[in-house]
Amino acid sequence: MTLIVIGGATASGKSALAVGLAHALEAEIINADSMQLYRGMDIGTAKLTSEEQEGIPHHLLSLVDVRTDVTVSWYQERARAKVDELLAAGKHAIVVGGTGLYIKSLLDDLNFPDTNPEVRARLEAEALAEGGLVLHNRLAVLDPAAALAIPVENVRRIVRALEVIEITGKPYTANLPREGSTKYPDAVHFAIESDRDKLDERINLRVEKMWAEGFVEEVRDLVKAGILEGRTAQAAIGYSQIIAMAQGQITEEVAKAATKVATRQYVRRQDTWFRRDERITWLPSEGNHVAAALGSIIKA
């Protein structure tokens, strides 16, 4: 049985490829999108509806409350357990998502240093007083690769990276795996090439569609459900902008435009992250992605 990994940028067509392959291989799908782990975060994360899942079993979706701050190690433990369970049962497993660090934690031997409450508290206080951008700029100096991978909006991960650097005296990315340390050496990896202009257009259309489907109402419901009590979920793209709108800081027009800009910026970071992984077979932007992927799987 095969582990198939589909990474890459937002709106590039990963979910459609995963569902198509799952039908062809009688496989099951495991989520690797950090925000699709949260219950109620559906429209803004483009989480597939039950109809769009087309009867394919999907795992690690809608598991946790929005007040919970999920860690990479938490995801690693559960994703590996599910992959191993499926492979042992004689099923193909398809991991799909755009959170590069989650995919890397599943595949490779990452280390997760202990926390230091005093260092963490001080950095959180600095973030509150000075803002996440100041800490992100500091991270860019200390560990440019980590700053590239971590969005400026995700203050929790910025704080964690700086904490690890201070505790270990090494860059946060020093915890990334050595070459050849993969847990699943026979895994087959894919991503879909994207024309940047066309992808930007798809992002704009996707954001407009989210708004039309009730994204603002979804966020308002999540505020009532306690999203402001956690740090991770409220930092998600689109959610943070609508929260700012609901708090009277920006207009709805600005919130929508800012969501489009932030998504495009995130897509650039995703592309840079996945381009560094030489295991990935890049499928052409146009054509039958399922057929192309199946061909590569058969050759493997």
Residue 67 confidence (pLDDT) above 60: yes
| Cβ atoms of residues 44 and 215 within 8 Å | yes
The domain defined by 3-110+177-299 carries CATH number 2.60.40.420: no
CB distance 168 to 162 below 8 Å: no
pTM for this predicted structure: 0.83
pLDDT, tens digit, for every residue of 32-64?
Answer: 999 999 999 999 999 999 999 999 999 999 999
Q: 287 falls in which pLDDT band (50, 70, 90)? A: confident
Mean pLDDT of 174-180: 58
More confident residue, 272 or 181: 272
Do the two domains 3-110+177-299 and 117-175 of this chain adopt the same fold? Answer: no
Is residue 239 very low, low, confident or very high in pLDDT (cuts 50, 70, 90)? very high
| Maximum C-alpha span of the chain | 56
Given a cut of 60, whether residue 177 has pLDDT beyond it is no
Residue 176 in contact with residue 110, Cβ under 8 Å? yes
Domain ranges of the chain: 3-110+177-299, 117-175
- Return mean pLDDT, the chain: 92
Task: Provide mean pLDDT across the span 158-162.
Answer: 93
Give tens-digit pLDDT for 222-237: 999 999 998 889 999 9
CATH class of 117-175: mainly alpha
Three-state secondary-structure class, residue 280: strand
What does the alpha-carbon distance between residue 250 and residue 223 come to, in Å, rounded to a whole number? Answer: 17
On the question of pLDDT at 288 being above 80, the answer is: yes
Residue 259, pLDDT > 60, answer: yes
Tell whether the model's pLDDT for residue 179 goes beyond 70. no
Return the closest-CA partner of residue 95 out of 30, 47, 48. Answer: 30
